[in-house]
Amino acid sequence: MKNVLLSTRDLKKIYGKRDSKFEALKGIDLDIQTGESVAIIGKSGSGKSTLMHLLALLDQPTEGTIKLNGKVTSKLKQRRLNRLRNKEFGFVFQSFFMNSNDTVLNNVILPLKIAGVRRKERRRRAMEALKIVELEDKAKNKANDLSGGQKQRVCIARAIVNNPKVIFADEPTGNLDSATGAKIEELLFGLNRDKGITLIVVTHDEELAEKCSRQIRIADGQVVEDDKGIAKHDPSFIEDANADGMRDENHTKEIEVEEQ
Amino acid sequence: MRVLDIIHDANANLWRSKLRSFLTILAIFVGSFTIILNSAINAGVNDFMDKQIDNMGGDGYLEMMPTEMYESAMNMMGNNGPQEYTEDKDNSNASSYIKDDQIEKAKKIDGIKVFNVLPNSTADYVTSKKTDKRYRININLVVEGISFDMSNGATPNTDKNADYEIAVNEDLAKALGYENVADIVGETIQIAVPNNLKCYTATKRSECQTIVDVKVSGTQAPGILSMGGSRTNLALWNKINEINYKGMPAEMNRSYMATADVEPEKIKDIQKSLEEIGLKAMSVEDEVGMFKTFFDAILIVFNIFGGIALAAASIGIINTLFMAVQERTREIGLDKALGMSNGKVFLSFSAEAIMLGFWGSLFGIIVSYVVGQVANTVATQTFLSDFPTFKLAIFEPLTMISIALVIMFIAFLAGTLPARRASKKNPIDALRYE
């Protein structure tokens, strides 16, 4: 039986006030299971990045709830959120976000340093992560001296160094040519397949999205297509769902079937 | 995140924009250098003053004269304006002396340990077997209970029945033919003492002088306050007084001076009590006070300069760090996305400010130390050659460390503004920032 890792109900995000008000998300309901690889697809401005930021607990929704492992995250203190992101999440960004003057090793170490892991231990773990992305021989190089594909592999090493449960990848191949992009994809899906790390990819690249086990299409702040839909594993949601009449009977059945 | 990591990263981040950090550190250095050198000179002067005070009898030493005598001396100097004559007051300078009832009352004042009335004693000159020259001599009494800072030998024996002993100034020792001043210790020198009565009628001064053999117990380093005076013990002092007043009525052998060894904490109250019984008492501090006030004023001016430099440097710190926050917006965003708390972000930028202060004050200490040592060497060879015990600049480790800590704290305060801005950054906005 699969567990629901992340779920959202009626998630809304509104930027600005009154006249300049802009509704980026107009009520998103999602359940993401542990071990899934999910593609969130949408054009720029569709709200897919906003959704990812909310799922990654980088931002607070204006309305609605997010549950991580069944716990409502809005009730968590900032410190707990920071620790969750540090321990459970890994991030891969389109434009890498690396400290380009620092060494590859130090870039990979960053999450462990923030966590306060001892010097020796974090070195060991960073080298392990670099081995997975096959860059252990570049550990001492400056991040700036690497190619784009290598940089993204360093970012993946950084994302997995803390043994996360989820990796959020925002256009991970967006800045790469198709050959290097394929290698990055291989790495990410390998991690999903072999280590059971839940993968949440935000992209507008259909090919990349196809390779995920599930595609969620976003347009104008709403889910327009979701091949898996909402699962009713969490009874606490049923009440809410009945109340706002959003529940689709078919979805529930589908998932029940799948689970058997 | 560990504290060591924060400090390490702060330093590494400063290194990333070398020139900018260097200039900011330079600004802090100017302030810290000024303040540190000032405090070293202050310590040097204070140390010198303390040695001088010790040479004059220490913190608990009081010299007294009748108040009316002090006042008429002041009147002569024109300090108090015209004074009206009154019958009830003893207005004659010559007839004011320390009276028996004043001595009795003074001895009862709380905090006075030893009270000495000094009979008048004057000597004409001093000479030695090693020289034909004779030198005028100004003598002071070594009071019981007070020890002096001797450069060679010992303080004269204060026992009433001791041998005649004297401590001389190093310059005098040299003049008396002892090139190596330590050699004079234990030697006998000759002092010519006049008899006041005989000298009224004598045609030649030598006719009324008695030569007294005196043992030199030790030497004193020259100082601005000892003024070349020589210090006799009580036995010699009394002997000189006896020779001075031989054949004269006892009423003429009056004392104008008294000294007291008192508890230093009570010295102000004691001075007040003595004033009430008609004795003007001066502490060593009173006498050194003028000199010190002058020095303090100079140091305050320089410290103000240092303070202004530090204030300007603080603005430099604020500016530097604001630039760093701006430059590292994306980095801050990443750190926060990866779980760094606002507090730690604040701390890491504060650590950078503190490191700026640390390096600025460290260089300040090092450079001012070097400058101080050079100045000490130059000074002892030139304008301070008469005062071998005077070190122009003294560097006390504790003072240096506390100044550095204060500067680092000021740097921290300056850094709070940019650090706060960094900590308030929203990770998403920061990551979007290009």
Closest CA–CA distance from residue A118 to any residue of chain B (Å): 8
Q: Calculate the alpha carbon distances from A55 to A32, A49, A167, B147, B291 in Å.
A: 10, 10, 11, 82, 75
Q: What is the CATH number of the domain that holds A99?
A: 3.40.50.300
* B237 and B382 together in one domain: no
Is residue B279 included in any domain, yes or no? Answer: no
Alpha helices of B186-328 — where are they, by DSSP H?
A: 196-201, 234-245, 267-276, 284-327
3 state SS of B18: helix
- Report the domain count for chain B: 2
Instruction: Identify which of B287, B255, B279, B281 has the alpha carbon closest to the alpha carbon of residue B268.
Output: B281
Asked whether the beta carbons of B141 and B61 are under 8 A apart, the reply is no
Q: In terms of DSSP bridges, do strands A89-92 and B61-66 run parallel, antiparallel, or are they unpaired?
A: unpaired
Residues 6+ apart with CB under 8 A from B101: none
Under an 8 A CB cutoff, do A91 and B337 touch?
A: yes
Cβ of residue A58 closer than 8 Å to a chain B Cβ: yes
**pLDDT value of residue B252:** 82
Closest CA–CA distance from residue A158 to any residue of chain B (Å): 10
Asked whether the beta carbons of B160 and B114 are under 8 A apart, the reply is no
Mutation target to probe the B interface, by most B beta carbons within 10 A, among A44, A81, A86, A113 is A113
**pLDDT value of residue B193:** 94
* B93 and B197 together in one domain: yes
Which residue in the block uniquely carries the two structure tokens 């800590």?
B405
Other CB atoms closer than 10 Å to residue A30's CB: what's the count? Answer: 22
Say if the ipTM goes beyond 0.85: no
Cβ of residue A59 closer than 8 Å to a chain B Cβ: yes
Chain B's closest residue to A57, CA to CA, is B337
Is residue B143 included in any domain, yes or no? Answer: yes
Burial class (CB within 10 angstroms; exposed 0-12, middle 13-18, buried 19+) of B75: middle
**pLDDT value of residue B332:** 92
Residues 6+ apart with CB under 8 A from B283: B59, B61, B62, B267, B271
**pLDDT value of residue B33:** 94
**pLDDT value of residue B104:** 86
Q: What are phi and psi of B370, to 5 degrees?
A: -60, -50
Structure tokens at A194: 């072999």
Element (H, E) at B191: strand B188-194
**pLDDT value of residue A248:** 42
* B237 and B118 together in one domain: yes
Taking contacts as CB-CB distances below 8 angstroms, the residues of chain A near B339 are: 82-87, 111, 114-115
* B33 and B179 together in one domain: no
Beta sheet of A22-33, edge-to-edge order:
A22-33, A4-15, A63-68, A71-72
Domain assignment of residue A217, given as a range: 4-259
* B43 and B67 together in one domain: no
Last residue of a domain, one of B214, B240, B273: B273
**pLDDT value of residue A41:** 92
Beta pairing partners, B125: B136, B192
Is residue B281 included in any domain, yes or no? Answer: no
Residues 6+ apart with CB under 8 A from A242: none
List the single residue in A59, A79, A101 with the smallest CB-CB distance to B341.
Answer: A79
3 state SS of B114: strand
Taking contacts as CB-CB distances below 8 angstroms, the residues of chain A near B423 are: none
Q: Is the pTM of this model over 0.80?
A: no
Residues 6+ apart with CB under 8 A from B122: B139, B193, B194, B240, B244
* B231 and B318 together in one domain: no
Structure tokens at A142: 């400056």
* B346 and B407 together in one domain: yes
Q: What is the mean pLDDT of each run of 10 residues along chain B (434 residues)?
A: 86 89 95 92 83 70 83 68 65 66 86 84 91 88 70 84 89 90 92 91 89 92 63 90 90 83 86 88 77 82 91 94 92 91 94 96 95 89 73 89 95 95 88 68
* B29 and B168 together in one domain: no
* B216 and B351 together in one domain: no
Is residue B155 included in any domain, yes or no? Answer: yes
- Report the domain count for chain A: 1
* B16 and B100 together in one domain: no
Domain assignment of residue B34, given as a range: 3-53+290-432
pLDDT tens-place string over residues B52-78: 776 666 678 888 888 877 877 777 666
Q: Per residue of chain A (260 residues), give pLDDT as tens.
A: 468 889 899 999 998 888 888 888 888 898 999 999 999 998 888 888 889 999 999 888 999 999 988 889 888 888 889 999 999 999 988 888 888 888 999 999 999 999 999 999 999 999 999 998 888 898 899 988 998 889 888 999 999 999 999 999 988 888 888 888 888 898 899 999 998 899 999 988 888 898 899 999 998 888 888 876 554 444 444 444 444 444 444 443 333 333 33
Is residue B234 included in any domain, yes or no? Answer: yes
Beta pairing partners, B115: B260
Structure tokens at A257: 């079937």
Q: What is the 3-state secondary structure (H, E, C) of chain A?
A: CCCEEEEEEEEEEEECCHHHCEEEEEEEEEEEECCCEEEEECCCCCCHHHHHHHHCCCCCCCEEEEEECCEEHHHCCHHHHHHHHHHHEEEECCCCCCCCCCEHHHHHHHHHHHHCCCHHHHHHHHHHHHHHCCCHHHCCCEHHHCCHHHHHHHHHHHHHCCCCCEEEEECCCCCCCHHHHHHHHHHHHHHHHHHCCEEEEEECCHHHHHCCCEEEEEECCEEEEECCCCCCCCHHHHHHHHHHCCCCHHHHHHHHHHHC
* B217 and B300 together in one domain: no
**pLDDT value of residue B56:** 64
**pLDDT value of residue B386:** 67
Mutation target to probe the B interface, by most B beta carbons within 10 A, among A48, A93, A114, A168 is A114
Residues 6+ apart with CB under 8 A from B397: none
* B49 and B64 together in one domain: no
Q: How many CB contacts within 8 angstroms connect chain A with chain B?
A: 50
